[in-house]
Amino acid sequence: MSIDATLNSKRLVHVLEKHVSNRAEPWHRVVGATAHRVREVGADRINEVSAQDRGLVRSIVLEEISSADKRPMFVSFSARDREDARKMLSLVSPKGLQIVAESLSTRKAAVITSYIPDGCQCWKDVARALVMRYRRAIIDPEATIRVKQRYEHKTRIVDESEIRFHTLEHFGVSSKGSGLAFFPMEEWDGALPCPEKKKNRAGRPLNQKPLRGGLT
């Protein structure tokens, strides 16, 4: 599915301030030296980031959505709070971004945010994080997941429903009775390679807890 996406200035500032400037997110793997320059400016002075660096981050996020068309890996869902209900998409990009966008029509979307989830180093990690977030919906398509979101200094409770994984096989998982079955994900041609993770004596990546179903 080809998606024509936009990223407005307000949302771009959010991505820069909350995510690119966050040293815990490895944005240097995605935007190179721009990540270091944004961090030098700092989240408190994000408006001082150069127009060139702003433009580069915006173009890469939008290019990642276009690149993801070649291997669709996304979750669609309905997000409802007290004020409104929106159709949403959460995409896995080849450079390891999770891109959340509001679906405006079949082929148009507006980017809400783009980030690298905790502990993720590449697209496979992001895919696994999405599976673990929405695993209930894989087993039960009617499931509703209640999440707490904080945006612009406000906290809200959002109910996510109608959750659907598109091309579930790309995520390396399938439903199996009342549980999940995991299998290796096929490689993604042209995607940013996953760095080798250091493992402890148990053969598990350091600082990572075991997950059910053999998923790590």
What pTM value is reported for the model? 0.86
Q: What is the pLDDT at residue 154?
A: 74
Contact 111, 100 (CB under 8 A): yes
Q: What is the pLDDT at residue 28?
A: 96
Domain-wise residue ranges, the chain: 4-185
With a cut of 50, which residues of the chain have pLDDT below it?
206-216
Which tokens sit at 77? 């869902």
Q: Return all residues near 161 (Cβ < 8 A) that are at least 6 apart.
A: 77, 78, 80, 143, 144, 145
Q: What is the pLDDT at residue 200?
A: 55
Q: What is the pLDDT of residues 11-40, one digit of tens each?
A: 999 999 999 999 999 999 999 999 999 999
Q: What is the pLDDT at residue 107?
A: 85
